[in-house]
Amino acid sequence: MTDFHEKQKERFCKIRTHQLNAYQREAVLDASPACVVNANVGSGKTTVLIEKILYLHFEKKVPLENMVVLTFTNKAAGEIIQRLLEREPSVTEEETARFGTFHSVALFLLKNCLPLETEGWTRDFSVMDPDEETELALGLAAQRGLKIKYKNRLKKRLEQERTSWQQGKTSRYGDDLFQLFPLLEQEKKRQNKMTFSDLIQVSTALLRREDNCPEWIIVDEVQDSDVLQLDFLEALGTDREGERRSRLFAVGDPNQVIYSWRGTTENMFFLLKHRFQAKELSLPVNYRSNASILEAANRFLQFGGKIEGARRTQERIAVRNHYDPFQEAEYLADRIEKLHADGLDYREIAVFYRLQRQAEVLEKVFQRAGIPCSLSLKRTLGDVPVLDYLVKILKFSVNPADSQTGIQVLADRITGFAGAVEELQGQVCPQWLFDYFDLREQLHPTSADCERDAEEVMRLLEHICRFCQGRDGTFMENLRRFLDSSMLYGLEFLKEDEKEREGVRLMTLHASKGLEFDTVFLIGMNQGLIPLRCQNFEQEEEERRLFFVGITRARNHLELSYYTNPGEPGVLEGYSPYLRMIPEHLLDWRELRSQEEKRASLQELRREVAAGMRRRQQEQKPCKEEHCPEKSYGEETDPEVRKIRRARHRKYGEGVIVGGDEMMIEVEFVSYGRKQFLRALGEVEEID
Output the domain CATH number for residue 305. 3.40.50.300
Residue 529 has a pLDDT of: 94
DSSP three-state, residue 239 = coil
Check whether residue 15 and residue 111 sit in a common domain: yes
Residue 639 has a pLDDT of: 39
Q: Which domain covers residue 652, as residue numbers?
A: 602-687
Check whether residue 434 and residue 506 sit in a common domain: no
pLDDT in tens, 524-543: 999 999 999 888 888 899 99
Residue 640 has a pLDDT of: 38
Check whether residue 7 and residue 95 sit in a common domain: yes
Residue 34 has a pLDDT of: 96
Residue 665 has a pLDDT of: 79
Looking at residue 291, its amino acid is A
Examine residue 437 and state whether it is found in any structural domain, yes or no.
Answer: yes
Please state the three-class secondary structure of 100-148 as a single string.
EEHHHHHHHHHHHCCCHHHHCCCCCCEECCHHHHHHHHHHHHHHHCCCC
Share of the chain above pLDDT 90, in %: 44
Cα gap 78→491, rounded to integer Å = 16
Cα gap 609→679, rounded to integer Å = 10
Examine residue 262 and state whether it is found in any structural domain, yes or no.
Answer: yes
Q: How far is CA 126 from CA 221, 229, 662, in A?
A: 28, 21, 68
Residue 622 has a pLDDT of: 46
Check whether residue 94 and residue 214 sit in a common domain: yes
44 is in an annotated binding site: yes
Does residue 285 have a pLDDT over 90?
A: yes
Examine residue 153 and state whether it is found in any structural domain, yes or no.
Answer: yes
Examine residue 638 and state whether it is found in any structural domain, yes or no.
Answer: yes
Residue 76 has a pLDDT of: 86
Looking at residue 228, its amino acid is L
Examine residue 125 and state whether it is found in any structural domain, yes or no.
Answer: no
pLDDT in tens, 485-506: 767 665 555 554 444 467 999 9
Residue 598 has a pLDDT of: 37
- Any residues with CB less than 8 A from the CB of 492 and at least 6 apart, and which? 74, 75
Check whether residue 203 and residue 89 sit in a common domain: yes
Examine residue 291 and state whether it is found in any structural domain, yes or no.
Answer: no
DSSP three-state, residue 96 = coil
Q: Rounded to 10 degrees, what is the CA torsion of 330, 336, 337, 342?
A: 150
pLDDT in tens, 99-123: 999 999 999 999 999 999 999 999 9
* Contact (Cβ atoms closer than 8 angstroms) between residue 551 and residue 296: yes
pLDDT in tens, 565-596: 888 888 888 889 999 999 999 999 865 444 44
Cα gap 216→69, rounded to integer Å = 8
Examine residue 124 and state whether it is found in any structural domain, yes or no.
Answer: no
Final residue of a structural domain among 462, 490, 518: 490
Does residue 26 have a pLDDT over 60?
A: yes
Confidence band, pLDDT 50/70/90 cuts, at residue 18: low
Cα gap 457→497, rounded to integer Å = 19
Check whether residue 15 and residue 103 sit in a common domain: yes
Q: Rounded to 10 degrees, what is the CA torsion of 294, 299, 303, 305?
A: 60
Check whether residue 74 and residue 188 sit in a common domain: no
Q: How many CB atoms lie within 10 A of CB 199?
A: 25
Confidence band, pLDDT 50/70/90 cuts, at residue 438: low
Looking at residue 445, its amino acid is P
- For residue 247, give the H/E element and its range: strand 247-252
66 vs 260 pLDDT, higher one: 66
Number of domains into which the chain is organized = 5
pLDDT in tens, 141-169: 999 999 998 888 898 888 888 888 887 78
Residue 16 has a pLDDT of: 54
Q: Kindly report the average pLDDT of the chain as a whole number.
A: 81
* Contact (Cβ atoms closer than 8 angstroms) between residue 573 and residue 565: yes
Does residue 133 have a pLDDT over 50?
A: yes
Among 76-80, 261-265, 564-568, name the one with the lowest average pLDDT: 261-265
CA 330: distance to chain centroid? 27
Residue 597 has a pLDDT of: 40
Quickly count helices (H) and strands (E) in the chain: 26, 22
Final residue of a structural domain among 227, 256, 283: 283
39 is in an annotated binding site: yes
528 is in an annotated binding site: no
Confidence band, pLDDT 50/70/90 cuts, at residue 138: very high
Residue 651 has a pLDDT of: 74
Cα gap 559→519, rounded to integer Å = 8
299 vs 18 pLDDT, higher one: 299
Residue 628 has a pLDDT of: 37
Q: Is 675 exposed, middle or buried (0-12, 13-18, 19+ CB in 10 A)?
A: buried
Cα gap 540→559, rounded to integer Å = 23
Check whether residue 14 and residue 109 sit in a common domain: yes
421 is in an annotated binding site: no
State mean pLDDT over 551-568.
Answer: 94
Check whether residue 480 and residue 618 sit in a common domain: no
* Contact (Cβ atoms closer than 8 angstroms) between residue 433 and residue 402: no
78 is in an annotated binding site: no
Does residue 186 have a pLDDT over 90?
A: yes
Final residue of a structural domain among 224, 256, 283: 283
Residue 623 has a pLDDT of: 45
Confidence band, pLDDT 50/70/90 cuts, at residue 661: low
State mean pLDDT over 48-56.
Answer: 93
Confidence band, pLDDT 50/70/90 cuts, at residue 507: very high
Q: What does pTM read for this prediction?
A: 0.74
Residue 61 has a pLDDT of: 93
43 is in an annotated binding site: yes
Residue 19 has a pLDDT of: 83
Check whether residue 590 and residue 627 sit in a common domain: no
631 vs 341 pLDDT, higher one: 341
Residue 601 has a pLDDT of: 45
Confidence band, pLDDT 50/70/90 cuts, at residue 87: confident
Check whether residue 585 and residue 607 sit in a common domain: no
Examine residue 168 and state whether it is found in any structural domain, yes or no.
Answer: yes
Residue 74 has a pLDDT of: 84
* Contact (Cβ atoms closer than 8 angstroms) between residue 360 and residue 600: no
Residue 596 has a pLDDT of: 44
* Contact (Cβ atoms closer than 8 angstroms) between residue 600 and residue 611: no
Residue 603 has a pLDDT of: 47
Check whether residue 537 and residue 682 sit in a common domain: no
